[in-house]
Amino acid sequence: MTYEHSLTFAQKLDQEDPLRHFRDRFHIPARDNKPLTYLCGNSLGLQPKSVRAALDQELLTWQNLGVEGWFEQTESAEQPWLGYHNTCKQALGQIIGAEPSEVCPMNALTVNLHLLLASFYRPTEKKYKILTIKGDFPSDQYALETHIKHHGLKPADTLVEIAPHADDSLIHTTDIQKAIAEQADSLALIWMSGLNYYTGQVYNMAAIAETAQQHCIPVGFDLAHAIGNVPLRLHDWGVDFATWCSYKYLNGGPGAVSGVFVHQKHHEQNLPRLAGWWGYREDRRFDMTPGFLPAPGADGWQVSTPNILALAAHRAAIAITAEAGIVALRRKSEQLTGYLEYILTPFDEIQILTPDDPNQRGCQLSLLVRKNGRTLFEFLTKQGIIGDWREPDCIRLAPVPLYNTFEDVYRVGETLEQFYRTTR
Ligand SMILES: *Cc1c(COP(=O)(O)O)cnc(C)c1O
């Protein structure tokens, strides 16, 4: 697509955008009665208008039925609370490319990572190492260290960290594949992000999963920034397990419920796990007998009573993503982010860290601004452009296809010009 830096051009693209009506499904934050240019969906997605009614519904059930809400439903509700999580699976499966039995919404991302590591990281004397990406999200690093220490091992001897390539500061798939092949005899697990939260780089999950399978090493992905952002085919790729958060591109609300993916190939294996009664076979759960019998599929990783209010918001939010469809969202996303790249390119002061190859990125562009970065960020915020700041010199901007417009992106260029006109 050839772009133009003009308001008319941006507005024309918005008029032609088949997804333009989805913006009306969201509350767009405003300041002084003017909608903000919200480019921070990578951190907290906006509130779908349908969430309030979904919460009200379950509040009503609680109000009218009390504990019976687990087994009965008020007239307007679709589902009693028992089994409520099942109503999220169709949409989740569609979004990540999984069978409904392979997914279950539950807990928060890092909690789920601990649960999954308990099952999938089972080091032996010979095979005990974990391959990961250097500088990956801190919470993931802490979780890995925890499990390594629990097994009496030392993180320094155990972690194989793939570093960015000297040429372009990006992670190369071939470097990961080479490390897997070279260290296959000592690797017990591969755990990494699917999309780097800092640089915005998308890794070739399909290729990495394929190499992992060739060497019989379980592979899991952190999909915090990938879910709802880029197309995923976890089942077909043969990924062993995954978890994500739903408050970023899935718009589930602050601290919204996460979920897990466990590939079908593990469903009959009775893997060890940190068990709790909610992961027990549903038909026998209330027998309250000793001895854990896992529920089939990803459900068997549940631990505690689900938070129904959180699930209600989650369900309402993912219904919108599923309705728009990942293919259509991705098509718009490539254009929208491509437009942002086009708008940013003339500014010599700004270096884009994110790969220029659309296959290696999602919505987000990470901007390295070595000079006056913080001042620029504050200026953008003051002018109503909401991104986020990463010390010491990085601004992340994420135009989200569900609710952002080409005009939003155009405004970024206009505001940057304003800034540099006065500071150059
Ligand atoms: C956002 C994010 C998290 C957040 O974890 P929580 O447990 O939800 O707080 C974890 N990992 C990555 C890569 C993230 O981007």
Instruction: Examine the domain organization and report whether 248 and 380 are in the same domain.
Output: no
Instruction: Examine the domain organization and report whether 332 and 389 are in the same domain.
Output: yes
What's the CATH code of the domain at 385? Answer: 3.90.1150.10
* The domain boundary residue, chosen from 323, 347, 363: 323
* The domain boundary residue, chosen from 323, 342, 373: 323
139, 171, 246: which to mutate for ligand 1, most atoms within 8 A of CB? Answer: 139
DSSP line for 76-115: T-SS-STTGGGGGHHHHHHHHT--GGGEEE-S-HHHHHHH
Specify the pLDDT at position 76.
Answer: 82
In a domain, 2, yes or no: no
Ligand 1 nearest atom to the CA of residue 111, by list position: 7
DSSP line for 214-261: HTT--EEEE-TTTTTTS---HHHHT--EEEE-SSSTT---TT---EEE
* The domain boundary residue, chosen from 323, 343, 377: 323
Instruction: Examine the domain organization and report whether 74 and 216 are in the same domain.
Output: yes
Instruction: Examine the domain organization and report whether 252 and 365 are in the same domain.
Output: no
Residues lower than pLDDT 50 in the chain: none
Specify the pLDDT at position 402.
Answer: 98
For ligand 1, whether the C-beta of 197 sits within 6 Å is yes
Entry pTM: 0.97
For ligand 1, whether the C-beta of 180 sits within 6 Å is no
In a domain, 52, yes or no: no
Instruction: Examine the domain organization and report whether 36 and 166 are in the same domain.
Output: no
CA of 255 to the centre of ligand 1 (A): 10
In a domain, 406, yes or no: yes
* Residue nearest to ligand 1 atom 8, measured at CA: 109
Instruction: Examine the domain organization and report whether 267 and 385 are in the same domain.
Output: no
The conformation of residue 159, written as its DSSP 8-state character, comes to E
For ligand 1, whether the C-beta of 335 sits within 6 Å is no
Instruction: Examine the domain organization and report whether 171 and 38 are in the same domain.
Output: no
For ligand 1, whether the C-beta of 110 sits within 6 Å is yes
The number of domains in the chain is 2
Neighbours of 305 (CB within 10 A): 11
Instruction: Examine the domain organization and report whether 34 and 100 are in the same domain.
Output: no
For ligand 1, whether the C-beta of 226 sits within 6 Å is no
* Residue nearest to ligand 1 atom 1, measured at CA: 224
In a domain, 53, yes or no: no
Q: Which domain holds residue 157?
A: 58-323
Instruction: Examine the domain organization and report whether 292 and 336 are in the same domain.
Output: no
For ligand 1, whether the C-beta of 224 sits within 6 Å is yes
For ligand 1, whether the C-beta of 242 sits within 6 Å is no
Q: Are 15 and 280 in contact (CB under 8 A)?
A: no
What's the CATH code of the domain at 89? Answer: 3.40.640.10
Q: Are 395 and 40 in contact (CB under 8 A)?
A: no
